[in-house]
Structure 1
Amino acid sequence: MEKRIINPWKWQDERGYAQAVEVKQVNSTLYCAGQAAVLPDGTSSTADMQTQLHIALQNLEQVIHQAGYTCSGIVRLTVYTTSSDTFVNTCFDDYKDWVAKHRVQTALTLTEVKALFETLSIEFEATVVR
């Protein structure tokens, strides 16, 4: 796989995403359902958004790795949250740390929604290539 990041500006680099990602010679593509803070027993977390962010990212990692992919292969990531303000003010630094740790360079969309399933406040939907 050949991956090219398109960033006409520099400001997005500090925010942990790319303006566009071009991928050539892809061997396979994985489309991940939204991964949220659902615990191993199937119950939804009632924790704060920051805690839910960590659980949701762990769940996303588990799906990606079980499928034989790596997080660095994420080319598209959509974040659904019940509060963009809470995400930006309490979770964004943790998200950027996760991006740096896994060398993720992805096109990113942050979307505020009225509600997620049960008590969930954040969900990640990813497209991964190799």
Structure 2
Amino acid sequence: MKKAMNNPWQWQDQLGYAQGVEIAHATHTLYCAGQAAMDAQGQPVETDMNGQIRLSFDNLETVLQNAGYSMTNVVRLNFYTTSIEQFFAAYGQIIHRLSTAGCTPSSTLVEVKALAFPQLMVELEATAVR
């Protein structure tokens, strides 16, 4: 898989994402459902924003690995949160997780009124290619 970043500016670099990611000749695409702080039985895990982000990424990586992908294959990563303020307070761990994985996806952040369960504060939606 050959990835080409499309960044007409540099300001997004410090936030760990790309304005666009072009994939030449991808052979497979995995569209992941939103992953949140849920346990293996499908129950929400009550924790703070840091804990929810960590578990959401863990769940996303489980889905990716189950299909033969890794975070390196993620080209689009959307974030939905009930609090942008709390989300950005925990953003350092997102930057660390993405940079450790060699992942620079295109991305969108949206604050929403609520997610599927009232305890949830963040949900990750990804597209991966190989």
- Fold shared by both chains (TM-score > 0.5): yes
CA drift of 1:68 comes to: 0.3
List runs of 5+ in structure 2 lacking aligned partners: none
Identity of aligned residues (%): 43
CA drift of 1:42 comes to: 1.8
Encode CA deviations 1:61-80: one digit per residue, 9 max, x unaligned.
00001100121111111100
Encode CA deviations 1:87-117: one digit per residue, 9 max, x unaligned.
012x110000000111101101000000012
TM-score, length basis structure 2: 0.96
RMSD value over aligned CA atoms?
0.8
Aligned to 1:107: 106
Aligned to 1:129: 129
Any idea what SS the aligned residue of 2:103 has?
coil
Number of corresponding residues: 129
Would you identify which runs of 4 or more consecutive aligned residues in structure 1 move more than 2 Å? none
Residues 39-118 of structure 1: matches in 2 within 5 Å?
Answer: 39-89=39-89, 91-118=90-117
Counterpart CA distance in 1 for 2:73 and 2:4 is 12
TM-score, length basis structure 1: 0.96
Aligned to 1:17: 17
User: What amino acid maps onto 1:22 in structure 2?
Assistant: E
Aligned to 1:26: 26
Counterpart CA distance in 1 for 2:27 and 2:81 is 32
